[in-house]
Amino acid sequence: MSAPESPQALARTQLAEDVARIVRKRVFDGTYAAGTYVRLDQLAADLGISVTPVREALFELKAEGLLAQQPHRGFVVLPVTGRDLTDVSDVQAYIGGELAARAAVNISDDQLRELQQIQSDLEDAYAADDDERAVKLNHEFHRAINVASDSPKLAQLMSQITRYAPESVFPIIAGWPEKSNEHHRRVLDALEKGDENLARTAMSEHLAEGAQPLIEHLTARGVVT
């Protein structure tokens, strides 16, 4: 039987995830352009942490395809392409649609009320231009549906795929908050009716429709090649 992980190891894992999120954001907001070298020591110093969680984060981003490791030179940012973003969106749409369909069958009244409250809070965050809170609430909205689906393995796959999707960008894409709110309300309506086919379609269309405005936004900022 393996020994439980130490609190230090668990804290380091969380720290590595935080570093990976920071680097992802810098890639998708153009701070780290394609071809930029992400220096292990420099990034650790900038963040005021040890190199160990930074190294773990960079290897995670390498596995995701955002970075490549160059011998004797470190980690370099790979180009972000429209095809990559479309592929991710298509897979999200398929898996997310299935999760929503299963949630329509399994969701409890308490879970539905929680989702409705999250959506209400999300619309308030968008209206207040609170982008950071909107990103968090949008993540909570989708996560709550995935939990309600009672399909942990499929939800885990969705979580892994979503790491490549630049969630932090969507609140600043012109017109997307309004469209996203409309899509979410369609999903909520399907869940309230317990209509799995309607839920699948609503969620699939929501996740698929985000690809083109995202690509256009990132192309205009020189992020997408």
Please tell me whether residue 173 adopts helix, strand or coil conformation.
coil
**DSSP β-ladder status, 74-77 and 67-70:** antiparallel
Mean pLDDT of 87-101: 97
User: Last residue of a domain, which of 77, 101, 121?
Assistant: 77
What pLDDT shows up at residue 160?
87
- Same domain for 89 and 72, yes or no, is no
The SS3 of residue 129 is coil
Strand partners, 80: 224
Whether 225 is in a domain gets the answer no
Q: H helices of 131-222, where? A: 131-148, 152-162, 176-193, 196-209, 211-220
Q: What is the pLDDT of residue 168?
A: 85
Domain end residue (candidates: 55, 77, 99): 77
Residue 35 shares a structural domain with residue 126: no
The answer to whether residue 137 sits within a structural domain is yes
The C-alpha atoms of residue 127 and residue 3 are separated, in whole angstroms, by 48
71 and 107 inside one domain: no
Q: What is the reported pLDDT for 7?
A: 44
Amino acid (one-letter) located at 68: A
Q: Give the dihedral sign, CA 199/203/208/210.
A: positive
For the chain, what is the mean pLDDT?
92
- Taking CA atoms, 179 is separated from 91, 125, 149, in Å, by 20, 15, 24
Asked whether residue 197 is assigned to any structural domain, the reply reads yes
The structure's pTM equals 0.85
Same-domain check for residues 96 and 52? no
Pairwise CA distance, residues 202 & 96, whole Å: 10
Which whole number is the average pLDDT over 71-78? 92
Give the domain range for residue 115.
Answer: 82-220
Both 179 and 70 in one domain: the answer is no
Q: What type of residue sits at position 210?
A: G
Domain shared by 147 and 193, yes or no? yes
Indicate whether 204 belongs to any domain.
yes
43 and 108 in a single domain? The answer is no
CB under 8 A, 24+ apart: contacts of 78-87: 78/34, 79/34, 79/225, 80/27, 80/28, 80/34, 80/218, 80/223, 80/224, 80/225, 81/224, 81/225, 82/215, 82/219, 82/224, 84/164, 85/165, 85/211, 85/214, 85/215, 85/218, 85/224, 86/211, 86/215
Residues 70 and 86 in one domain: no
pLDDT, one tens digit per residue, over 113-136 is: 999 999 999 999 999 999 999 999
Residue 2 lies in a domain: no
CATH number at residue 152: 1.20.120.530
State the CATH number of the domain containing residue 59.
Answer: 1.10.10.10
Quote the number of domains for the chain. 2
Task: Tell which of 30, 47, 77 closes a domain.
Answer: 77
For residue 152, being part of any structural domain is answered with yes
Residue type, 84: D
Domain assignment of residue 1, yes or no: no
Quick: pLDDT tens for 147-193.
Answer: 999 999 999 999 988 888 788 899 999 999 999 999 999 999 999 99
Residue 12 has pLDDT above 60, yes or no: no
